[in-house]
Chain A
């Protein structure tokens, strides 16, 4: 009964979405108040219906209703309750429902928090989101119904959730990622509404910007969580693999980052409207593209869902309508978008252009590398695979320029600035950062790698330049505190986010160049010496857990002769799926991680274990947290609060209608 109810709610949601995606558009065109007002109500109704449907699926999981195919394939009666709840998004059908639910949540948020929008704009934004919902709900209903029953032969028990997904990181990673992906649909909808209206005024950017930032924050956290999860769960110590699906989440992030910057120019200076709108379309299109790549099976990846060509064709068709439609509208209205160009060569506007060009080039590297296997097969019928040897150098090349230029860009004034005053303070900083980088590398290891030195220098350069910026601001007033308090929250956001970039870069460079990996053979009650660490295999135990058997080794590790830590890596055998899992044991540290994973049993009770020393690896995720925090500070800026906007509206708004 419950699955049918969920299915029914999903069908109602489709009907509701069709209403939402059509009538308000018509209302906006005809100036029909009632039809326009319908949009907000339908948006909130959409959320309620989808939430109900989602709860039904969750209930089916909690009750272990194995007559539902999706539950039978991805759950098991032995699965702990928390994983039953999260198994809902453990595979294609359920995660798609979560995707749609999150889309509806964003839509409801727009309906609630956009009281200051003109009715026409709100109706069009919500209706655009409604059309996107139509696409996704039909995708779920017609190709990927999570409520499908297996009757009459009901499985006695389920096939279990993939053990890789029975983990905290995996519980939070997909929802965060989807919040980001889907969040970009809002700015997309704003772009469509703006294009339909013809002219994009400053207000357009002012509305779109905080929504974009919030989506970007979620995506940043989502990607960082995925990377962190891969690091501790996959057992080979890596944190980024340029896997097509990772790329699929990284591309909207790069486009979204470019968009954040160009939106700033559009909001403050009415510059680059046309480009900003295109980026807004592009960012969400890349989110959709990611969905297509992951869920159609055109690319092989560790993440790929069970594939089915019908699904691929469905999303491709949808992609064609959504993106093709948006781009056609863009081409149609291109002429009407007028930007102001009252800035000189040395100005923040130009800095943002350079930022966008470089981010766009990095994006193209990732896009090309991800799609090249498809393109090569299309053009030359060749199978190729593209990996880190392609991505690392080309991506780093463009990113190095970005890192080098951020300090100048963030210090520039709008409209016009003086080249000398922008560059002057930084020559000293540049030398200092080179010195610091050399020193740091010399401290960590003896050998100096030129590329590592360059990367580290750029990271440190950006790091100290951000603090220098704060220092310079603090000197502008009588007391330093007064100086700092004059910096607006959005500037604080920018600085904190840029510090985050620096911190991540420092972590990435040091981990990539100076990690140590050792394979050792070790027997119980035996010691092995690796560099300055002594590893003692103290014990080997078997445990019975709810749904898996665990073989745990206990290693007592001493450093330079004194006790350092005890690590307990595991091998797990999941009873239902019979899958073997390697659980690494990690001793985390601010400056380095020690990481042990069990490879395989050898003769006479000995084990092959892998030992990793990972310097500065935590900095990668610490930096991501700082970036997200920067975003949070930026959206907290008081100019986005309702009252100010309301005033703005009464002054200028009515003229638009």
Chain B
């Protein structure tokens, strides 16, 4: 075959090879990973009731002064049911506090959920109107923010935290932050 003809005949192959290159790189990225302007920022101000104690008003002052995890959950969220047993397990096995944000939910449903599935949270913020969720740029539940001792959001995870996400993504960051905190 003449080189020119061979080149023409190979065009489909070349285009395909380029596409494979693109696909290969996009597999490395998780499309559900959302860019968030909030990383490096403080947790937005809020003044909301506690799910378990509606009389109690929670504000930023009530957030732990150590590394903690802020988990967005709701009883209408199917994936939260899948995530919940993991949270119970991680809360029990690892020395880190979980704060819940009960997003756009009814408090009696939320209470029943915690009563039935167990409560991994130090407390849950009742974000009935979804204002805190909006400030946090919540995309869907469940979502989890890693917050450091200074109340600065350091990482965000969209979707369920299972064993794999925990060990590959969340725990390494938490442990790193905790050791930084210890050093200070």
> Is B37's CB within 8 Å of the partner chain A?
no
- The answer to whether A298 touches B6 (Cβ under 8 A) is no
Q: State the Cβ distance, A283 to closest chain B Cβ, in Å.
A: 13
- The answer to whether B16 touches A323 (Cβ under 8 A) is yes
- The answer to whether B75 touches A331 (Cβ under 8 A) is no
Residues of B within 8 A of A296 (CB): 23, 27
Q: State the Cβ distance, B24 to closest chain A Cβ, in Å.
A: 6
- The answer to whether B35 touches A383 (Cβ under 8 A) is yes
- The answer to whether A374 touches B26 (Cβ under 8 A) is yes
Residues of B within 8 A of A298 (CB): 23, 26-27, 31
Q: State the Cβ distance, B46 to closest chain A Cβ, in Å.
A: 25
How far apart are the CA atoms of A313 and B29 in the complex, in Å?
12
Q: State the Cβ distance, A565 to closest chain B Cβ, in Å.
A: 32
> Could you say which interface size class chain B belongs to?
20 to 34
- The answer to whether B22 touches A378 (Cβ under 8 A) is yes
Residues of A within 8 A of B29 (CB): 377
Selected from B10, B25, B81, the residue in CB contact (under 8 A) with A331 is B10
How far apart are the CA atoms of A103 and B20 in the complex, in Å?
24
| Nearest A residue to B2, CB-CB | A335
- The answer to whether B27 touches A278 (Cβ under 8 A) is no
> Is A330's CB within 8 Å of the partner chain B?
yes
Selected from B12, B23, B25, the residue in CB contact (under 8 A) with A330 is B12
Residues of A within 8 A of B10 (CB): 331
- The answer to whether A313 touches B27 (Cβ under 8 A) is yes
CB under 8 Å from chain A, chain B span 6-22: 6, 8-10, 12-13, 16-17, 19-22
> Is A300's CB within 8 Å of the partner chain B?
yes
How far apart are the CA atoms of A239 and B28 in the complex, in Å?
33
How far apart are the CA atoms of A298 and B19 in the complex, in Å?
13
- The answer to whether B31 touches A330 (Cβ under 8 A) is no
23 residue pairs A–B, Cβ–Cβ below 8 Å: A159-B82, A278-B12, A296-B23, A297-B31, A298-B23, A298-B27, A300-B31, A316-B27, A320-B20, A323-B16, A327-B12, A327-B13, A328-B13, A331-B9, A331-B13, A335-B1, A374-B22, A374-B23, A377-B29, A383-B35, A579-B76, A579-B78, A580-B76
- The answer to whether A309 touches B27 (Cβ under 8 A) is yes
Residues of A within 8 A of B82 (CB): 159
The secondary-structure label for the interface of chain B is: helix
CB under 8 Å from chain A, chain B span 64-78: 75-76, 78
CB under 8 Å from chain B, chain A span 439-479: none
Q: State the Cβ distance, A322 to closest chain B Cβ, in Å.
A: 11
Given known contacts A312-B27, A373-B31, what 19 new A-B pairs fall within 8 Å (CB)?
A159-B81, A278-B12, A296-B23, A297-B31, A298-B31, A309-B27, A316-B27, A327-B13, A327-B16, A331-B6, A334-B1, A334-B6, A377-B26, A378-B21, A378-B22, A577-B81, A578-B76, A578-B78, A580-B76
How far apart are the CA atoms of A281 and B21 in the complex, in Å?
20
Of the listed residues A313, A316, A331, the one surrounded by the most CB atoms of chain B closer than 10 A to its CB is: A331
> Is A324's CB within 8 Å of the partner chain B?
yes
Q: State the Cβ distance, B20 to closest chain A Cβ, in Å.
A: 6
| Nearest B residue to A367, CB-CB | B19
- The answer to whether B20 touches A319 (Cβ under 8 A) is yes
The secondary-structure label for the interface of chain A is: helix
- The answer to whether A578 touches B27 (Cβ under 8 A) is no
Q: State the Cβ distance, B42 to closest chain A Cβ, in Å.
A: 25
- The answer to whether B12 touches A316 (Cβ under 8 A) is no
- The answer to whether A335 touches B9 (Cβ under 8 A) is yes
| Interface residues on chain A, number (Cβ under 8 Å) | 37
How far apart are the CA atoms of A421 and B135 in the complex, in Å?
69
How far apart are the CA atoms of A313 and B28 in the complex, in Å?
9
- The answer to whether A324 touches B13 (Cβ under 8 A) is yes
How far apart are the CA atoms of A336 and B89 in the complex, in Å?
65
Q: State the Cβ distance, B152 to closest chain A Cβ, in Å.
A: 24
Q: State the Cβ distance, A233 to closest chain B Cβ, in Å.
A: 17
How far apart are the CA atoms of A9 and B82 in the complex, in Å?
31
Question: What string of 1s and 0s marks CB contacts (under 8 Å) between A367-384 and chain B?
Answer: 000010111011000010
> Is A292's CB within 8 Å of the partner chain B?
yes
> Is A299's CB within 8 Å of the partner chain B?
yes
> Is B5's CB within 8 Å of the partner chain A?
yes
Q: State the Cβ distance, B88 to closest chain A Cβ, in Å.
A: 14
How far apart are the CA atoms of A297 and B31 in the complex, in Å?
8
Q: State the Cβ distance, A598 to closest chain B Cβ, in Å.
A: 16
Q: State the Cβ distance, B72 to closest chain A Cβ, in Å.
A: 17
How far apart are the CA atoms of A577 and B80 in the complex, in Å?
10
> Is B32's CB within 8 Å of the partner chain A?
yes
How far apart are the CA atoms of A297 and B28 in the complex, in Å?
11
Q: State the Cβ distance, B176 to closest chain A Cβ, in Å.
A: 23
How far apart are the CA atoms of A300 and B159 in the complex, in Å?
13
Q: State the Cβ distance, B30 to closest chain A Cβ, in Å.
A: 8
Q: State the Cβ distance, A151 to closest chain B Cβ, in Å.
A: 16
| Nearest B residue to A333, CB-CB | B9
How far apart are the CA atoms of A377 and B12 in the complex, in Å?
23
- The answer to whether B22 touches A375 (Cβ under 8 A) is yes
- The answer to whether B26 touches A378 (Cβ under 8 A) is yes
Question: What string of 1s and 0s marks CB contacts (under 8 Å) between B17-59 and chain A?
Answer: 1011111111111111001000000000000000000000000
Q: State the Cβ distance, B77 to closest chain A Cβ, in Å.
A: 9
- Take A300-B32, A331-B6, A577-B78 as given contacts and tell me if A371 and B19 are in contact as well, using a CB distance cutoff of 8 Å: yes
How far apart are the CA atoms of A292 and B32 in the complex, in Å?
17
| Nearest B residue to A311, CB-CB | B27
How far apart are the CA atoms of A90 and B90 in the complex, in Å?
30
Question: What string of 1s and 0s marks CB contacts (under 8 Å) between B137-162 and chain A?
Answer: 00000000000000000000000000
| Nearest A residue to B21, CB-CB | A378
Residues of B within 8 A of A285 (CB): 16
Selected from A282, A300, A327, A378, the residue in CB contact (under 8 A) with B25 is A378
Selected from A282, A334, A579, the residue in CB contact (under 8 A) with B5 is A334
How far apart are the CA atoms of A331 and B35 in the complex, in Å?
42
Q: State the Cβ distance, A276 to closest chain B Cβ, in Å.
A: 13
Question: What string of 1s and 0s marks CB contacts (under 8 Å) between B73-98 and chain A?
Answer: 00110100110000000000000000
Q: State the Cβ distance, A439 to closest chain B Cβ, in Å.
A: 47
- The answer to whether A335 touches B31 (Cβ under 8 A) is no
Residues of A within 8 A of B25 (CB): 377-378
Q: State the Cβ distance, A548 to closest chain B Cβ, in Å.
A: 14
Residues of B within 8 A of A319 (CB): 20, 23
Of the listed residues A281, A332, A578, the one surrounded by the most CB atoms of chain B closer than 10 A to its CB is: A578
How far apart are the CA atoms of A578 and B6 in the complex, in Å?
60
Residues of A within 8 A of B5 (CB): 334-335
| Nearest B residue to A336, CB-CB | B1
How far apart are the CA atoms of A523 and B31 in the complex, in Å?
43
CB under 8 Å from chain B, chain A span 336-380: 371, 373-375, 377-378
| Nearest B residue to A323, CB-CB | B16
Of the listed residues A281, A297, A374, the one surrounded by the most CB atoms of chain B closer than 10 A to its CB is: A374
Residues of B within 8 A of A371 (CB): 19, 22
| Nearest A residue to B82, CB-CB | A159
How far apart are the CA atoms of A292 and B24 in the complex, in Å?
11
How far apart are the CA atoms of A176 and B103 in the complex, in Å?
39
